[in-house]
Amino acid sequence: MTREADARDAAGRAVREEGPAVIATLARHVGGDVGLAEDAVQDALVAALQTWPRDGVPRAPGAWITTTARRKAIDRLRRERTLADRTAVLAHLLSLGDDADQDLEAMTDTAMDDRLRLMFTCCHPALGIDARVALTLRMLGGLTTAEIARAFVVPEATMAQRLVRAKRKIAAAHIAYRIPAPHELPDRMTGVLAVVYLVFNEGYAASAGERLGREDLGAEAIRLGRLLVALMPDDAEAIGLLALMLLHDARRAGRVDAAGRYVPLDEQDRALWDRAAIDEGVATLDRALRLRRPGAYQLQAAISALHTQTPTATDTDWPQIAALYGRLARLAPSPVVDVNRAVAVGFADGPAAGLRVLDPLLADGRLDAYQPLHAAHAELLRRAGRVDAARDAFTLAIDLTANAVERIELERRRAALDAVTG
């Protein structure tokens, strides 16, 4: 590699690895203006790309980025801000010696708290959910705008605009850069976990697109999950969410065959599942359960753990899984849970019992366009021997499917139905 390419590589790596920590701490020093902090880190990257090829990569690239970012923030404040309330911020920044930046090298308590502040600001409920997801990936995950745009299949300009609007709102509305007070914490923590899980699900099963998994997002969500657990080591649901993601992700290699075709759980080659990830997921779940504060993520992780620890699909402990879905439905009622419960009950007590669980959902007009409901309905009808009704339900599900891989699988099942009767 050339010296220039080496330097470019080192600069990119330093910003990717140190960027979130630098933004987190700098944002506290500039009164919570995470947009300004992020811009300053970008300025530091540009400066690194200019000087490192010429002068060589510094011995501590992260510290270099940190110090440069702080100086760039000062430049920006001097250049752009004329409002009186910026003066105090500027004076504060100037008072910080370069030594103060070196703290960032270690994950000190202060650095951990800064990272938490950044997380709660990025996931503030006053921001739209799309903006929360994008900000979290950008600021905490260190992903570039182009990477996030690609992952969510939107034009880069759209994603850039979304980020700019969110950062402006944080600054203009004074969204606080702080860890929520104890009485706010449970609610706000739920919001943060929801954002991380959304990122994971986006990676796990793209709702629209030709490929089923976008592994980068799944890996990024797990990385964020690990960070959350490190920051909030006593939060049972944070640990439960990490366990859930690890256990889901462990089955990734089995979900799609060599041709890119979706493989349902009962047909997956369990030898392809990642044993190390399953072991870590189960150990993580145990750690969460020991805290004795049950929650929705822990229950879902427990269901996933039961699947992953069963050697063959026919050995699946469906009564236990149906019972866990029952608890989940009481704790966090949702159509998603009900549909899964119907499938589990269908295996535990027969298709007629499963169909009875679906009846109220099918009667509820609001779920007419909910694809998983019709896919599950079709499958239960097929197993109950009601072929014509099953065909109609498969057709309905196929019409509602945006994911090409899933659609092909549903079409295959519908065709198999006709092969049996015809």
Partner 1 sequence: MPQYMLLMYGDPAAGPAEGSPEAQAEFGNWMAYSQAMGEAGAMKSGDALQPIATATTVRVRGGERVVSDGPFAETKELLGGYYIIEATDLDAALDWAAKAPHIEHGSVEVRPVITFG
Q: What phi-psi label fits residue 176: left (phi over 0), alpha (psi between -120 and 50 degrees) or beta?
A: beta
Q: Which is nearer to partner 1, 83 or 276 (CB)?
A: 83
For partner 1, which residue of 129, 146, 164, 172 counts as binding (CB under 8 A)? 172
> Closest separation between CB of residue 174 and partner 1, Å?
4
Site string for partner 1, 4-33 (x = CB under 8 A): ----------------------------x-
For partner 1, which residue of 4, 9, 80, 184 counts as binding (CB under 8 A)? 184
**Binding of partner 1 at residue 164 (CB under 8 A)?**
no
Q: Which is nearer to partner 1, 123 or 396 (CB)?
A: 123
Only one of the segments 13-21, 60-68, 135-143, 176-184 lies at the binding site for partner 1 (rule: CB under 8 A); that segment is 176-184
Only one of the segments 34-42, 49-57, 71-79, 172-180 lies at the binding site for partner 1 (rule: CB under 8 A); that segment is 172-180
Q: Which is nearer to partner 1, 175 or 242 (CB)?
A: 175
**Binding of partner 1 at residue 187 (CB under 8 A)?**
no
Measure the CA–CA gap between 216 and 218, rounded to whole angstroms.
5
Total residues at interface with partner 1 (CB under 8 A): 14
Phi, psi dihedrals of residue 402, rounded to the nearest 5°: -95, -25
CA angle 51, 19, 107 (to 5 degrees): 120
Only one of the segments 77-85, 95-103, 389-397, 410-418 lies at the binding site for partner 1 (rule: CB under 8 A); that segment is 77-85
For partner 1, which residue of 46, 91, 126, 402 counts as binding (CB under 8 A)? 126
**Binding of partner 1 at residue 83 (CB under 8 A)?**
yes
Among candidate residues 298, 302, 276, the one with its CA nearest the CA of residue 288: 298
Q: Which is nearer to partner 1, 152 or 177 (CB)?
A: 177
Q: Which is nearer to partner 1, 168 or 412 (CB)?
A: 168
Chain mean position to CA 365 = 30
**In the Cβ-directed half-sphere of 212, how many Cα atoms lie within 13 Å?**
19
Q: Which is nearer to partner 1, 85 or 210 (CB)?
A: 85
**Binding of partner 1 at residue 146 (CB under 8 A)?**
no
Question: What b/e sequence results for 45-70 when a residue is b if at least 16 CB atoms lie within 10 Å of its CB, and e otherwise?
Answer: bebbeebbbeeebbeebbbbbbbbbb
**Single-letter residue type at 317:** D
**Binding of partner 1 at residue 265 (CB under 8 A)?**
no
Measure the CA–CA gap between 302 and 328, rounded to whole angstroms.
11
Q: Which is nearer to partner 1, 191 or 372 (CB)?
A: 191
Only one of the segments 95-103, 170-178, 246-254, 402-410 lies at the binding site for partner 1 (rule: CB under 8 A); that segment is 170-178
**Binding of partner 1 at residue 88 (CB under 8 A)?**
no
User: Kind and range of the H or E element at 369?
Assistant: none
For partner 1, which residue of 1, 84, 258, 419 counts as binding (CB under 8 A)? 84
**Binding of partner 1 at residue 399 (CB under 8 A)?**
no
The answer to whether 420 and 383 have CB atoms below 8 angstroms apart is no
> Closest separation between CB of residue 120 and partner 1, Å?
10
**Binding of partner 1 at residue 412 (CB under 8 A)?**
no
Measure the CA–CA gap between 356 and 374, rounded to whole angstroms.
14
Measure the CA–CA gap between 210 and 225, rounded to whole angstroms.
27
Q: Which is nearer to partner 1, 85 or 315 (CB)?
A: 85
CA angle 72, 45, 202 (to 5 degrees): 115
CA distance readout (Å), 281 to 184, 207, 232, 269, 311: 29, 25, 18, 19, 17
Among candidate residues 377, 370, 379, the one with its CA nearest the CA of residue 401: 370
Number of residues in the chain: 422
Measure the CA–CA gap between 254 and 307, rounded to whole angstroms.
13
**Binding of partner 1 at residue 183 (CB under 8 A)?**
no
**In the Cβ-directed half-sphere of 316, how many Cα atoms lie within 13 Å?**
20
**Binding of partner 1 at residue 85 (CB under 8 A)?**
yes
Q: Which is nearer to partner 1, 180 or 354 (CB)?
A: 180
Q: Which is nearer to partner 1, 178 or 290 (CB)?
A: 178
Which residues of this chain interact with partner 1, rule CB under 8 A? 32, 83-85, 124, 126, 172-176, 178, 180, 184
